[in-house]
Amino acid sequence: MKTRFKPKFHIKKGDTVVVIAGDDKDLKKPRKVLEIITEKNRVLVEGVNIVTKHTKPSAQNTKGGIQKIEAPIAISNVMIWDTKAGAPSKIKRTRENGKLVRTTKNSGEVIK
């Protein structure tokens, strides 16, 4: 994605999210975000989109073999988990004391 400015996403590393679309869709099970890939608009969520990776033996990994790892999914397929409401929620940015903070639209709770 070639853009002039860095895009701002509603999700950050360390947030708890739910998957709202795809094979791992589960609106009741919150999961943790491990990494945000801004260039490709993707997010790495723990326990979601598990793929098998075949690795050749190397100096670091002398055995090689088959590994199960998480693959990134589109950032539009996740939604922030509102702990106060116990449901997925949209995010709005509000200004408090001169700083922009993320708050949930359901309960108005500030996301840290």
The whole-number pLDDT of residue 14 equals 96
Please write down the long-range contacts of 79-84, taking CB distance under 8 Å and 24 or more positions apart.
79/17, 79/18, 79/20, 80/10, 80/11, 80/15, 80/16, 80/17, 80/104, 80/111, 81/15, 81/16, 81/17, 81/18, 81/30, 82/106, 82/107, 82/109, 83/16, 83/109, 84/109
pLDDT tens, 35-48? 999 999 999 999 99
pLDDT attached to residue 1: 58
Domain layout of the chain by residue ranges: 16-85
Residues 6+ away with beta carbon under 8 Å from 66: 52, 53, 54, 55
Q: What is the mean pLDDT of each run of 10 residues along the chain (112 residues)?
A: 79 96 94 95 96 95 93 96 95 93 94 87
